[in-house]
Structure 1
């Protein structure tokens, strides 16, 4: 069986890898010693992501050294944006953000959330679990967001990378389906419509995939799913999360995007042309990113972006002919 590009070359640290001073600082903030831990190894960060067990209950903690500047910025962004998520949003509650010193001179930034009793979806996808995460994507988009509460999705959408591919024609482009290079000029024109296509007044997670979903096993949401890792939430169109996750679903052993949408259709009133424009922007992002050098500590991300890029190109080709 071919290795899943989403899980190869995993380098995430676990609780015992953290410097002793950092572990002590986290325990002090929790208010109890850690008696056990479970690492959650999915995702695309150099940081720890673990459920820590204590005599006072469990807490989910993310921690990263300040030497990873981009991830540190994401942690601060996640804390800021997660704090304003409205009541009823299917997400764990943010508890605190802290900075803990270490003896090697690098501080660690730590985020703590309520622990969710559950597990990530299995890959290849099971039908019932896929249904739960597709419903989660739609549910997130049902929450209204007041203007100014979160950034507009259009303002943060990478809606220029297809155009950049068309202008630069990088050598690696030839490793993709030739249809992409043949139609890049047309796609670059469609990409110009993407910012308007994603405009709206609904909550968008912005990075929803199987590794950012937890299937809940206890409590009021048992049998459903919640979304985690809210580093990129914004205000936009209700369809964004559902469309955005479908290339990853296919890569991780699920059905094609069209089949997923037969199982869980797009929100009522969704403009198909808007979906196409958004898909063009996603395609440009994944293809362009896959051709860049791997970032430190997460070498596997380029393979995953490559696989999603290929899925996006195939989906676009079927939509546009």
Structure 2
């Protein structure tokens, strides 16, 4: 299913001159080349910038996208809290560069990674690497208060809202969903407890938030290892959350169904089936409700992607619950 309506990120020459100058000052050298990474679901620049000192991955967004500005600041704060051994590029710095009074650009710089994005439709070897990454992230134990509780930020009330409001767009989904909303709203109440735990959760892990690298420490039998990027939502929760959370997107992007993917990489030992269902209900509510909202400026493909994931979630829930 193609949900990637044409969208092009801003690239290095598109940035205001004062922002380019500020970035070069932080890099300590002029930018001599750049490669844009056009995947993902935010409006900002996402490019590997090259200088005579080497390469660095830079994200930058202007004040016209206030939500993303806040998200980038949050990503910088939380990325700095990731422990040793977490499979993620290192945050180098955060800069706020003023174009005019009260209108700052937010810029994040990370270690550049020599790798590639997974192919879509998914190849089995690349899918295995990213599924392994989801499980690996969930093996990292966190002390209390290192990161926010994942349960506290989980949108676990949107199925209840759909049940109460019955928006017109709901009729465009499988009728099973509308007929089950009251039952699902009851299950949704269990979602915060279902995702509680002491493990690291990326919170937004998908193929576009993973980079595949050849060889190196921790590589799989196929020679591939995956690293997770875009750590805007990490928290402390259950070790199964990232694996379950990415499976609807895997199916949408030409991969197997969730059940088939879990045969390639099973859930962590001891995962409670009812906890998975409760989390899946919350995910369903998020994707369905979000898909019915107005388009987001600068990300024309987002609502279609949420819609496709919502449909995948509904189908998965229907198979789980009958």
User: Which residue is 1:316 aligned to?
Assistant: 317
User: Which residue is 2:110 aligned to?
Assistant: 113
Cα deviation digits, residues 60-85 of structure 1 (max 9, x gap): 00000022111111111111100010
After TM superposition, give the deviation of residue 103 of structure 1 in Å. 5.8
For 1:62 and 1:220, the matched residues in 2 are separated by 26
User: Which residue is 1:162 aligned to?
Assistant: 159
Cα deviation digits, residues 137-187 of structure 1 (max 9, x gap): 000000001100000011000000000000100000000000000101000
Equivalent residues in 2 for 1:19-58 (5 A)?
19-58=16-55
Identify the range of structure 1 (251-260 vs 38-47) with the bigger mean alpha-carbon deviation: 38-47
TM-score in terms of structure 2 length: 0.97
5+ residue gaps, structure 2: none
Contact 2:203 / 2:241 at 8 angstroms: preserved in 1? yes
Contact 1:247 / 1:257 at 8 angstroms: preserved in 2? yes
Query: 2:268 aligned with 1:267, yes or no?
Result: yes
Computed over aligned residues only, the root mean square deviation of the Cα atoms, in angstroms, reads: 1.2
Query: 2:14 aligned with 1:13, yes or no?
Result: no
For 1:122 and 1:49, the matched residues in 2 are separated by 19
User: Which residue is 2:183 aligned to?
Assistant: 186
Partner SS for 1:149: coil
For 2:215 and 2:56, the matched residues in 1 are separated by 16
Contact 1:15 / 1:48 at 8 angstroms: preserved in 2? yes
Contact 1:96 / 1:112 at 8 angstroms: preserved in 2? yes
For 1:310 and 1:178, the matched residues in 2 are separated by 11
After TM superposition, give the deviation of residue 218 of structure 1 in Å. 5.7
Shift of the 255–299 alpha-carbon distance from structure 1 to 2, 3 Å rule, reads same
User: Which residue is 1:281 aligned to?
Assistant: 282
For 2:142 and 2:88, the matched residues in 1 are separated by 15
After TM superposition, give the deviation of residue 224 of structure 1 in Å. 0.2
Partner SS for 1:316: helix
Q: How many residues are paired up?
A: 318
User: Which residue is 1:257 aligned to?
Assistant: 258
Identify the range of structure 1 (281-290 vs 94-103) with the bigger mean alpha-carbon deviation: 94-103
Partner SS for 1:102: strand
After TM superposition, give the deviation of residue 106 of structure 1 in Å. 3.4
Equivalent residues in 2 for 1:206-245 (5 A)?
206-217=203-214, 219-220=216-217, 223-245=224-246
5+ residue gaps, structure 1: none
Contact 1:207 / 1:241 at 8 angstroms: preserved in 2? yes
Partner SS for 2:103: coil
Query: 2:97 aligned with 1:100, yes or no?
Result: yes
Contact 2:215 / 2:225 at 8 angstroms: preserved in 1? no
Query: 2:316 aligned with 1:302, yes or no?
Result: no
After TM superposition, give the deviation of residue 220 of structure 1 in Å. 3.5
After TM superposition, give the deviation of residue 11 of structure 1 in Å. 3.5
Contact 1:11 / 1:298 at 8 angstroms: preserved in 2? no
Cα deviation digits, residues 199-237 of structure 1 (max 9, x gap): 000000000000000001364356200000000000000
For 2:33 and 2:82, the matched residues in 1 are separated by 30
For 2:102 and 2:24, the matched residues in 1 are separated by 20
User: Which residue is 1:142 aligned to?
Assistant: 139
